[in-house]
């Protein structure tokens, strides 16, 4: 673990507060197409598949960029990378307003998607200010910046009505640029970068930072994140369209209802981090997956009429969710996802304390790709099946496979490591040894290298 000597509680609060605020703004920008995309869909006459691709394109850039931004943040520090990423994104958002064709909208959306890369920059920066006993809570609080999706769902529809989608995009670009400047002026260089300056060590090589990615465990974490984050982003973008189409609601009302889903899916991430610190991340993942299976099964069931041949004649009844019940179920689902997101990222600084940027970047990239592919899949399913609940059927299948895979993999791992615990139900989250620190250029070698982790 890195040393935290000289780091005050005030320094920790400053880093956590600034990172969380910046991430909230970035996330609001990242999901802006969920609102302005509805207007663009109408203006350009797009079908559901084309709309799904437009909404998902920013997610692609935000996902793929995470692994690179994570490595660069490990090398150069979050105080440099965070403002740089925000300024580049602000320019892309501003230029979006001059686009007129669908193809160019897709290109512009790629630039806007850099806002999603802010997550791993903030994770790598924030984790360096806290010891491992408090990293789960700290990263959970930081991850609550997902509430930016709710900010967009609540506020952007009214901005679109008042200013049009072009004016809304310009406001978002200005706010993002201002936050970038404020972050650079107010944030401090993290303890690891300060130590490197004092010791004269050069930046860690990219090869050393990427070395843990050969571990299958890293990819298992990424698979979990595909649902808890990827599906969260996908639904935050898809729900306004769903409410407008399935229930015939106005865009402003649909945005508010979608925001009610995004809000608990964001703010309760801090609770998920605390629960992971207290009871273990695996326990939280089981709660997330099992609860999501129940909720998604009900949400995926289409409105159906039944005729039963009773004793005295046919008995008819219908099954369908009212908009109020459906909104309530999305709130519960968002809450469960928020716990799962925190649990996944609780694992990373414990197992890979010196590779949070690269490992967290890969996990975030895979999760973000879920946010890219799922909206497209939702649109395709709607076009092919004509069933509004088909997207939730897909999510149910994904969670079912993930839950079985997680349980089988964990039990197999524990039995291989400790044959005597074959019948033990408790599964520890604590690694035998964390992944060792990478070798840094220009620093004299001292001591004996740390042992490799058991997994």
Q: Which domains are assigned to the chain?
A: 9-188+210-304+319-417 (1.20.1250.20)
pLDDT of residue 453: 42
Q: Helices 48-76 and 356-385 sit at what angle, rounded to 10 degrees?
A: 180
pLDDT over 90, % of the chain:
18
Alpha-carbon distance of 323 to 398, in angstroms, equals 24
Are 371 and 52 a contacting pair, CB within 8 Å? no
pLDDT of residue 452: 43
- DSSP output for 190-248: -HHHHHHHHHTPPPBPHHHHHGGGGSHHHHHHHHHHIIIIIIHHHHHHHHHHHHHHHS-
Q: Which residue has the higher pLDDT, 140 or 171?
A: 171
pLDDT of residue 120: 83
Query: What mean pLDDT is predicted for residues 11-35?
Result: 88
Q: Which residue has the higher pLDDT, 434 or 391?
A: 391
Alpha-carbon distance of 275 to 139, in angstroms, equals 12
Q: Is the pLDDT of residue 198 over 80?
A: no
Least-confidence region, from 186-190, 201-205, 225-229, 349-353: 201-205
Please enumerate in sequence order all residues whose Cβ is within 8 A of that of 365, keeping only pairs 6 or more positions apart, or say none. Answer: 63, 64, 66, 67, 222
pLDDT confidence of 410, banded at 50, 70, 90? confident
Please enumerate in sequence order all residues whose Cβ is within 8 A of that of 57, keeping only pairs 6 or more positions apart, or say none. Answer: 33, 106, 109, 110, 113, 372
Q: Which residue has the higher pLDDT, 190 or 266?
A: 190
Query: What mean pLDDT is predicted for residues 19-38?
Result: 86
> Which is nearest to 273 in space by CA: 139, 455, 120?
139
Q: Is the pLDDT of residue 417 over 70?
A: no
Q: How many residues belong to the chain?
A: 455
Q: Is the pLDDT of residue 180 over 50?
A: yes
Alpha-carbon distance of 435 to 4, in angstroms, equals 19
> Which is nearest to 402 in space by CA: 336, 332, 330, 348?
336
> Which is nearest to 90 in space by CA: 186, 175, 181, 182?
175
| pLDDT tens per residue, range 284-325 | 999 999 999 999 999 998 877 777 887 787 877 777 788 999
| pLDDT tens per residue, range 430-455 | 555 666 666 554 555 455 444 444 33
pLDDT of residue 84: 93
Query: What mean pLDDT is predicted for residues 274-293?
Result: 89
Please tell me the pTM assigned to this model.
0.66
- DSSP output for 71-96: HHHHHH-HHHHHHHHHHHHHHHHHHG
> Which is nearest to 355 in space by CA: 172, 141, 210, 155?
210
pLDDT confidence of 182, banded at 50, 70, 90? very high
pLDDT of residue 440: 52
**Residue 248 phi, psi dihedral angles, 5° rounding:** 70, 30
| pLDDT tens per residue, range 44-101 | 888 877 877 887 788 788 888 887 887 788 778 888 899 999 999 998 888 888 877 8
Least-confidence region, from 87-96, 120-129, 410-419: 410-419
Q: Which tokens in the block code for residue 437? A: 């620190």
pLDDT of residue 53: 81
Q: Is the pLDDT of residue 207 over 80?
A: no
Q: Is the pLDDT of residue 429 over 60?
A: no
């Amino acid at each position: 673990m890195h040393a935290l000597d000289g780091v005050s509680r005030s320094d920790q609060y400053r880093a956590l507060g600034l990172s969380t605020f910046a991430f909230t703004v970035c996330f609001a920008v990242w999901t802006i197409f969920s609102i302005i995309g509805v207007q663009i869909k109408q203006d350009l006459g797009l079908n559901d598949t084309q709309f799904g691709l437009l909404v998902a394109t920013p997610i692609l850039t935000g996902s793929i960029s995470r692994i690179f931004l994570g490595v660069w943040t490990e090398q150069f520090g979050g105080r440099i990378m965070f403002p740089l990423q925000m300024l580049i994104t602000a320019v892309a958002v501003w230029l979006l307003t001059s686009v007129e064709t669908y193809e160019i909208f897709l290109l512009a959306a790629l630039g806007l998607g850099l806002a999603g890369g802010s997550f791993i920059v903030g994770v790598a920066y924030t984790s360096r200010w806290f010891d491992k006993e408090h990293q789960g809570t700290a990263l959970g609080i930081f991850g609550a910046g997902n509430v930016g999706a709710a900010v967009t769902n609540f506020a952007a529809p009214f901005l679109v009505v008042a200013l049009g989608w072009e004016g809304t995009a310009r406001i978002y670009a200005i706010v993002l640029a201002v936050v970038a400047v404020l972050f650079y002026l107010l944030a401090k260089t993290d303890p690891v970068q300060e130590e490197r300056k004092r010791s004269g060590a050069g930046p860690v090589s990219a090869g050393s930072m990427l070395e843990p990615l050969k571990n299958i465990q890293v990819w298992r974490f990424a698979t979990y994140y595909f649902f808890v984050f990827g599906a969260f982003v996908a639904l935050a973008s898809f729900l306004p369209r769903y409410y407008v189409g399935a229930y015939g609601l106005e865009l402003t009302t649909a945005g508010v209802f979608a925001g009610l889903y995004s809000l608990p899916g964001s703010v309760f991430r801090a609770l998920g981090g605390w629960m992971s610190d207290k009871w273990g991340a695996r326990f939280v993942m089981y709660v997330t997956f099992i609860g999501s299976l129940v909720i998604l099964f009900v949400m995926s069931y289409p409105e159906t009429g039944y005729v039963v041949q009773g004793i005295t004649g046919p008995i008819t009844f219908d099954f369908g969710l009212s908009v109020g019940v459906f909104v309530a179920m999305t709130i519960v689902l968002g809450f469960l996802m928020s716990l799962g997101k925190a649990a996944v990222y609780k694992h990373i600084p414990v197992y890979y304390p010196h590779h949070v940027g690269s490992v967290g970047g890969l996990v975030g990239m895979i999760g973000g790709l879920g946010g890219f592919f799922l909206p497209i899949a939702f649109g395709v399913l709607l076009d092919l099946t004509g069933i509004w609940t088909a997207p939730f059927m897909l999510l149910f299948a994904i969670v079912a496979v993930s839950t079985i895979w997680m349980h089988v993999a964990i039990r197999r791992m524990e039995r291989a490591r400790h044959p005597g615990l074959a019948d033990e139900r408790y599964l520890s989250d604590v690694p035998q040894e964390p992944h060792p620190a990478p070798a840094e250029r220009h620093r004299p070698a001292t001591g004996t290298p740390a042992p490799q982790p058991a997994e």
